Amino acid sequence: MHSTTPQARKPSHFGFRFVMPLALGSTLNPINSTMISTALAPIAVAFGATVAQTGWLIAGLYLTSAIAQPTMGRLADLFGPRRIYLISLALVALAGIIGSLAPSLAVLVGVRVLLGVGTSGAYPSAMRIFRSQGDRHGMAPPRMAMGALSFAGIATTAFGPLLGGIMTGTFGWHAIFAVNIPLALLTAGLVVLWVPRDTPRTATFPQLVQEIDLRGIALFGIALIGLMTFLMNLDHPLWWTLPASAACWIGFAVHSLRRSQPFVDVRMLARNLPLTITYLRIMLFLMLSYCILYGFAQWLESSAHYSASAAGLMTLPMSVLAGMCSLLAARTRSLRSPFVIGAAGSLVGCGCLIFIHSDSPVWFIASAAMFFGVPMGMASTATQAAIYVQAPASEMGTAAGLQRTFSYVGAIFAASLLGILFGHKPSDGGIHALATVMICVSAFLLVFTLFDRTLPKGSLD
């Protein structure tokens, strides 16, 4: 376990100046994920595109991020997290420049892919920096510092659509891409000033490139795209994608077992059962969260006939509570209790959803959604702490990136579930059916976490 001596707890190692650039960078992915929602309609008008065509602006970022998160994490492990962080921010700034001048929808989709790669470097690099700094000074897991990362991401998710709407209405849709330029440059400046330099690398560049495992990344990416393509089309299943994806997963596993330093160490995941369970747990928690983030808002607008702005205001208490819970979870010394509280909060929220109707009072509808802020905040921060203590220090970047990959798979499961239960239009019956499925998932998470022997007992200190 980590040292708990007075010197090991010096707050200066994880003070405001150190955490600020890492927290700011963690907002880049969620802000680009959420701001686009308010710009889809004007982009479609500008380029004469259909809804399906503009949908690639969303799918492009999610699919790229799911693959790029562990890839950028691996690069952070090999080249140094500060270096990869700065390179990622340069890609974000470049995407902002191209996006603000994009002449076609195809170019915009390419910009979103570039943003997926660039924004994917922030979180795994930050986790690797935390671990390196903590190990260097013999510190316990920096729960408050990691809570700041979680809070920043949740707050950005909450206000992203509102910010995107204001910018699109005032300056046009190009502005949601151009805003990445000052954000990336500001973050890069703070990283240069306040984040310690990486340890000098003795290996040559060709040696490091060989360690990246491009074949493993390619197999992983193709397998994941095949799985997500199937999940995103459950209403009209593309059955051929399942065996194609399964073949790639098998090839990926065989390749990983044969390579001494694979992109994702399958042997490590098989041996490290606690880490594997952490990934599966956050996938289910994020599936519940995305069901609400996407499904509840759709129901409010289509079935309850609230405006988009009113729907956003009604989900704002949920986001505020999520931010508060992320900070509260950071103050706990146990891993189990935040997960248990999160699952219990989800159960309460699902119970409320069972009784809401399109004509229910506003306060009751908002209260039902608010409870889901508990699992959003609790599970996010607790998962970061779990990965910090469960993953090998030498693979922290890759491990943190895989966490985000499992999170995006949870988002795809949520989108697929909403498509099945809502059909062509959300309804009261659809939201009740969704609540029933979510009750089953929440109950499973609660019971499993209570009896999960892979979680350490007591304090992490």
Can you give the pLDDT at residue 8? 39
| Sequence-separated (6 or more) residues with CB below 8 Å from residue 226 | 241, 242, 244, 245, 248
pTM: 0.73
Can you give the pLDDT at residue 341? 94
Can you give the pLDDT at residue 308? 61
Three-state secondary structure call for residue 360: coil
Can you give the pLDDT at residue 162? 67
Can you give the pLDDT at residue 60? 80
What are residue 361's phi and psi, to 5 degrees? -60, 150
Can you give the pLDDT at residue 13? 55
Can you give the pLDDT at residue 143? 61
Question: If you ran DSSP here, which 8-state letter would residue 141 be given?
Answer: P
User: Looking up tokens 């499973």, which residue turns up?
Assistant: 444
The H or E element that residue 132 is part of is: helix 122-136
What is the radius of gyration, based on Cα positions, of the chain? 21
With b for 16 or more beta-carbon neighbours within 10 A and e for fewer, the 29-61 pattern comes to: bbbbbbbbbbbbeebbebbebeeeebebbebbb
Q: Please write the tens of the pLDDT for every residue from 162-199.
A: 677 778 878 888 999 999 999 999 999 999 988 888 87
Can you give the pLDDT at residue 412? 74
User: Looking up tokens 């997500």, which residue turns up?
Assistant: 228
Of 342, 426, 331, 408, give the one whose Cα is nearest residue 380. Answer: 342
Rounded distance between C-alpha atoms, residue 249 and residue 5, angstroms: 45
Question: Which amino acid is it at 50?
Answer: T
Can you give the pLDDT at residue 4? 40
Estimate to the nearest angstrom the gap between the alpha carbon of 273 and the chain centroid: 22
Of 103, 108, 119, give the one whose Cα is nearest residue 60. Answer: 108
Rounded distance between C-alpha atoms, residue 13 and residue 8, angstroms: 9
Rounded distance between C-alpha atoms, residue 272 and residue 417, angstroms: 30
Can you give the pLDDT at residue 183? 93
Rounded distance between C-alpha atoms, residue 336 and residue 342, angstroms: 10
Q: Please write the tens of the pLDDT for every residue from 203-213.
A: 566 766 677 78
Residue-by-residue DSSP string for 409-433 = HHHHHHHHHHHHHHTTS--HHHHHH
Question: If you ran DSSP here, which 8-state letter would residue 196 be given?
Answer: P
Rounded distance between C-alpha atoms, residue 237 and residue 192, angstroms: 48
What are the residue ranges in the chain where pLDDT is below 50? Answer: 1-12
| Sequence-separated (6 or more) residues with CB below 8 Å from residue 66 | 224, 228, 404, 405, 408, 409
Quick one: three-class SS letters along 250-295? HHHHHHHHHCCCCCCCHHHHHHCHHHHHHHHHHHHHHHHHHHHHHH
Of 174, 25, 17, give the one whose Cα is nearest residue 101. Answer: 174
Using CB atoms within 10 Å of the CB of residue 325, give its burial: 0 to 12 exposed, 13 to 18 middle, 19+ buried: buried
Can you give the pLDDT at residue 139? 65
